């Protein structure tokens, strides 16, 4: 690897523009299925389906996978935590709408079923469901010879939550001058791993022996995604949370503006919260700018809440008291997008 060459997400084989183009092309197909119970289309952190008219219960659904983080799991034989990632990627989206996750289903596909590996994976899924307070009510395991390499599998999930219509958190009341509070991530979470693998390689024995970050680099890579559900719901019961953004693929740059009305942007102080060492290592190896890093990784913040400025200090204090690491990381402003 040329130490002077910038290594981007596109260099790792991921072109985010293709993803944006795909969403644009499929929106009309999805919209053709909507009925009066669908409250909004694609583009938020969950899909809404009203059960009881204007003031009743609303279901919020989300689906996602673990992505190429799975490579490190099956190369190392550590398959018992990626299920937590799978649950987290779904329920952290659902809770952004103020919804309590009710149930979860998983899907595991592989070329040849290894019962011990499947059991380890589902153990992780169950652990994640317990952290989120939802029930693992079913799933599917598919054996598809020749579709996957030896020892490889894919893992995805689907979750449904519920919220009263008048309690939905949707960002519509966010105005310039609100505070942004960040809740610390547990590390990489489960996005950007095509670039991570390009930068750090896939020699799991070498990564396990590397203690340059004070622990095994493989341990840091496989640390499961933090699940925020219970604490976010507790905070929502005490504070008026105006908007919530799950910081996954697209980092700060893509995800935070998703909760803002038109004409509202934000300023984020990247020095207002600690950046875990794993991101410093990736920054060094990739030579990416801050704007590029914060458009790919969570950089140490896994969830962002918009609250009124006069409530921010109390919100942070309470979040810290119940087990989160919370920081005031910025404010909303007139305009669009994210200013770092």
- Of the candidates 45, 19, 21, the one whose C-alpha atom is nearest the C-alpha of residue 256 is 45
- Of the candidates 259, 236, 94, the one whose C-alpha atom is nearest the C-alpha of residue 162 is 94
Residue 185: inside a domain: yes
Same domain, 123 and 192: no
How many domains, the chain?
Answer: 2
Does 332 or 10 have the greater pLDDT score? 332
**Rounded Cα gap, residues 7 and 286, in angstroms:** 5
Q: Where are the alpha helices (DSSP H) in the chain?
A: 16-31, 70-76, 82-95, 115-132, 193-200, 204-209, 217-222, 229-238, 251-255, 277-286, 290-293, 312-321
**Rounded Cα gap, residues 201 and 204, in angstroms:** 8
**Average pLDDT of the chain to the nearest whole number:** 94
**Rounded Cα gap, residues 20 and 242, in angstroms:** 26
Same domain, 148 and 278: no
Residue 2: inside a domain: no
Domain final residue, candidates 109, 139, 167: 167
Residue 16: inside a domain: no
Handedness of CA 167, 170, 172, 177 (dihedral sign): positive
Same domain, 145 and 242: no
Same domain, 193 and 303: yes
Same domain, 112 and 149: yes
pLDDT, tens digit (0-9, with 9 covering 90-100), for 288-306 = 999 999 999 999 999 999 9
**Rounded Cα gap, residues 86 and 106, in angstroms:** 8
CATH number of the domain that residue 154 is part of? 3.30.1330.10
Same domain, 110 and 188: no
Phi and psi at residue 49, to the nearest 5°: -140, 115
Same domain, 185 and 309: yes
What pLDDT, on a 0 to 100 scale, did the predictor assign at position 2? 56
Does 178 or 41 have the greater pLDDT score? 178
What pLDDT, on a 0 to 100 scale, did the predictor assign at position 315? 98
Residue 207's domain comprises 179-339
Flag the least confident range among 5-9, 106-110, 182-186, 330-334.
5-9
Under the banding of pLDDT at 50, 70 and 90, the label for residue 251 is: very high
CATH number of the domain that residue 309 is part of? 3.90.650.10
Handedness of CA 246, 250, 252, 254 (dihedral sign): negative
Same domain, 152 and 298: no
Domain final residue, candidates 167, 192, 226: 167
Same domain, 220 and 93: no
Could you tell me if 311 and 239 are in contact, meaning their C-beta atoms sit under 8 angstroms apart? Answer: yes
Same domain, 62 and 153: yes
Could you tell me if 12 and 197 are in contact, meaning their C-beta atoms sit under 8 angstroms apart? Answer: yes
Same domain, 138 and 246: no
Ramachandran category for residue 333: left, alpha or beta (phi over 0 → left; psi -120 to 50 → alpha) = beta
For residues 217-237, give the mean pLDDT.
98
Whether the pLDDT of residue 1 is over 70: the answer is no
Domain final residue, candidates 107, 132, 167: 167
pLDDT, tens digit (0-9, with 9 covering 90-100), for 99-121 = 999 999 999 999 999 999 999 99
pLDDT, tens digit (0-9, with 9 covering 90-100), for 3-31 = 667 778 777 667 667 877 887 888 888 88
Residue 14: inside a domain: no
- Of the candidates 58, 277, 233, the one whose C-alpha atom is nearest the C-alpha of residue 133 is 233
Residue 7: inside a domain: no
> b/e string for 122-158 if b means 16 or more Cβ within 10 A?
bebbbbbbebbebebeebeeeeeeeebeeebbbbbbb
Same domain, 133 and 66: yes
Residue 220: inside a domain: yes
């Amino acid at each position: 690897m040329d130490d002077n060459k910038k290594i981007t997400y596109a260099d790792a084989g991921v072109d985010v523009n293709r993803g944006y183009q795909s969403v644009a092309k499929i929106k009309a197909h999805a919209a053709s299925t909507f009925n009066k119970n669908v409250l909004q289309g694609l583009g938020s952190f969950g899909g809404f389906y009203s059960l009881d008219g204007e003031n009743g219960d609303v279901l919020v659904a989300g689906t996602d996978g673990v992505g190429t983080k799975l490579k490190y799991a099956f190369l190392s034989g550590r398959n018992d935590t990626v299920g937590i990632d799978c649950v987290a990627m779904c329920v952290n989206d659902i809770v952004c709408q103020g919804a309590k996750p009710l149930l979860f289903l998983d899907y595991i596909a592989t070329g040849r079923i290894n019962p011990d590996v499947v059991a380890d994976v589902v153990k992780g899924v169950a652990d994640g469901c317990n952290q989120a307070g939802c029930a693992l009510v079913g799933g599917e395991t598919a054996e598809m010879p020749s579709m996957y390499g030896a020892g490889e599998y894919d893992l995805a999930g689907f979750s449904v939550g519920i919220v009263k219509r008048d309690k939905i958190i949707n960002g519509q009341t966010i105005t310039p001058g609100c505070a942004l509070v960040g809740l610390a991530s547990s590390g990489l979470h489960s996005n950007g791993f095509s670039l991570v693998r390009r930068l750090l390689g896939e020699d799991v024995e070498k990564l396990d022996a590397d203690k340059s970050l004070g622990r095994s680099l493989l341990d840091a890579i496989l640390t499961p995604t933090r699940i925020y559900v219970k604490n976010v719901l507790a905070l929502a019961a005490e504070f008026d949370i105006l908007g919530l953004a799950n910081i996954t693929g697209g980092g700060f740059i893509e995800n935070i503006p998703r909760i803002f009305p038109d004409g509202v942007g934000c300023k984020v102080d990247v020095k207002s919260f600690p950046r875990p060492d794993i991101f410093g290592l990736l920054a060094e190896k990739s030579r990416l700018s801050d704007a590029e890093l914060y458009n790919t990784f969570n950089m140490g913040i896994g969830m962002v809440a918009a609250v009124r400025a006069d409530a921010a200090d109390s919100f942070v204090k309470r979040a810290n008291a119940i087990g989160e690491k919370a920081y005031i990381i910025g404010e909303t402003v007139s305009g669009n997008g994210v200013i770092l």
